[in-house]
Amino acid sequence: MSWLTNLIELLFGKPPQRKRKATEPEKDTVATPIEDLEPKGAPGNKPYGDVAASAQLGHAKTEARTPAPSSAIVEAAGAFSPEVVILVPEFKNDREAGFTNRVLETLRAARMLNVRSVERGISSPGDRPNVAKLALFYAEARAALHEQSADVLLYGEVLRNGLRMRMVSAVPSGEARMGDFGIGDALMVPHNFGSELANLVYAGVLAAALPAKPDHHDALTPYLVGAAEQSMKLLETLPDSVDPEQIGSIFTYLGVVCGAKWRLHKMSTSLVATVASFEKASNEGPSELAPLAMAELKIRLGIALQELASVNNDADMFEESLDAYETVTSALDPSKNPREWGLAYMCLGNAFLSRGKTELSVDDCDRANAAFDASMKVFTKEKDKPRWLDAMTAKGAALMTAGAIHTGTKELEAATDVLREVLKERDRRTQPLPWAQASNGLGSAAFALAKRTQNRTQLDEAIACFDGAISIYESLNQTVAIGIVRKNQQRAYRLRETIGN
């Protein structure tokens, strides 16, 4: 079974798992200028506390592996500085830019940030935007980031009850990941927020920057850990005068920050805080959520529960993760919210596949296949080819897992058919890594089938696929993948010697 485990981990990574009424998005409303509010100064002399020290002090047992940040990190990096370049356009509805300047002053007091005030305006996506309007907003924001060679854009609006901020990374993050912001996420805080929320803003900027700074995660980790530790105090006490919508957004942002901290640092306390934050966002936030907000929150809660269930070997918690995904699939109309509905089914399928692989359960593999098939009702090859390919690849992995458990060839034959179609749709020139993964997947399925059938044609197909995958992995310096594929290729050659012509 090692070849199967290696393949699935190579394709998906290692395995990581109440209901609120969803309402249709409201029509966009634009806040009127606020004339009677005056911003106060930045919150405290050190708005984030001593972030460098907070990565160490008070957490000696749980965070002892975190190195102390040093200004030498920036000097050593030179032109490739790990500093996060953040753009801050003037906040919408901000009379005389008072609140914008306060946020700028706050961010400039933090470490590892190169904060730039920019004059270019960004169009507001509205109060409760749909996916299409958010896509236009993100495209405009990323165009500004590209022009300025920046990492994160912080877009703000002054509302009657507080500030609303959206953090846009120059590089889109993966979908349905607990440590990444969703396209609908917005942090809402009181007008004159204090240091406890300033820490969350800082941690949020660093978390948003991670996709754009893949080579500098080690340098950024101590600062994100320190700011996240300070922000986690919000789980115990919230500032006064925050309304349910602000509470929901604060805990959603905190969940993402803690999820990013878990991904970087792998301390179980971060994962527990991630689950607690998303649960508080769900239970203490608004009584009704727009479909996009509800779906993104529940999906990430499900992923966090699934991950924590895996760490703790907790079957009941795993069932809670399934409930979170099924909340989305049952509450949403796929014709109105196809993206969120399809992503929830993808997550549900991945959860069943994870358990099926761990417990060698064909029933769970069948449930996974049913979920992936459901997702492809909206993620069709014609309308959404990238997500369709993801679903087909996952379906192939589920069929391979079932085939490894069964003694026949039916599932393995189906897996090779599915993965052969995936490989056909990948472009080796423009998508070398996905193509190599697809080639390796098909090679593994064909090899598994050839071991059962002793069929030379199937074995030759497997060896050819392994050859193709290795050539790409070598060009991309993917040393771990090269080792895995080469071992399977050597086994295939040995089998061919025994089969002969």
DSSP string, 13-64: -S-------B-PPPPP--PPPP-S------SSSSBTB-HHHHTTTT-TTTST
Asked if residues 385 and 376 have their Cβ atoms less than 8 Å apart, the reply is: no
Q: Spell out the residues 6+ positions from residue 329 whose beta carbon is closer than 8 angstroms to its own.
A: 341, 344, 345, 348, 374
Residue 409: count other Cβ atoms within 10 Å of its Cβ: 16
The string of DSSP codes covering 60-81 is TTTSTTSPPP-THHHHHHGGG-
Alpha helices in 232-314 (DSSP H): 244-265, 268-284, 291-312
> Residue 152 pairs with which residues in a beta bridge?
86, 169
- CA-to-CA separations, 62 to 213, 270, 306, 468, in angstroms, rounded: 25, 10, 22, 44
Exposed / middle / buried, residue 360 (Cβ in 10 Å: 0-12, 13-18, 19+): middle
Indicate the Cα dihedral angle 286, 291, 297, 302, nearest 10°. Answer: 130
Per-residue pLDDT of the chain (501 residues; tens, 9 = 90+): 443 444 444 443 443 333 333 333 333 333 333 344 455 555 543 444 443 333 322 232 333 333 333 332 232 232 346 799 999 999 999 988 999 999 999 999 999 999 999 988 899 999 889 999 999 999 999 999 999 999 999 999 999 999 999 999 999 988 888 999 999 999 999 998 998 899 999 999 999 999 999 999 999 999 999 999 999 999 999 988 899 999 999 999 999 999 999 999 888 999 999 999 999 999 999 988 999 999 999 999 999 999 999 999 999 999 999 999 999 999 999 999 999 999 999 999 999 999 999 999 999 999 999 999 999 999 999 999 999 999 999 999 999 999 999 889 999 999 999 999 999 999 999 999 999 999 999 999 999 999 999 999 999 999 999 999 999 999 999 999 999 999 999 999 999 999 876
How far apart, in Å, do the first and last CA atoms of the chain sit?
27
Residues in the chain: 501
pTM: 0.83
Instruction: Answer whether 26's CB lies under 8 Å from 334's CB.
Output: no
Residue among 308, 386, 337 nearest 183 (CA): 337
CA distances from 118 to 79, 125, 143, 145 (A): 22, 19, 13, 11
Cα dihedral sign, 296-301-306-311: positive
**Helix %, strand %, coil % of the chain (to 5):** 60, 5, 30
AA letter at 404: A
Do the strands 187-189 and 162-169 form a parallel or antiparallel pair, or are they unpaired?
antiparallel
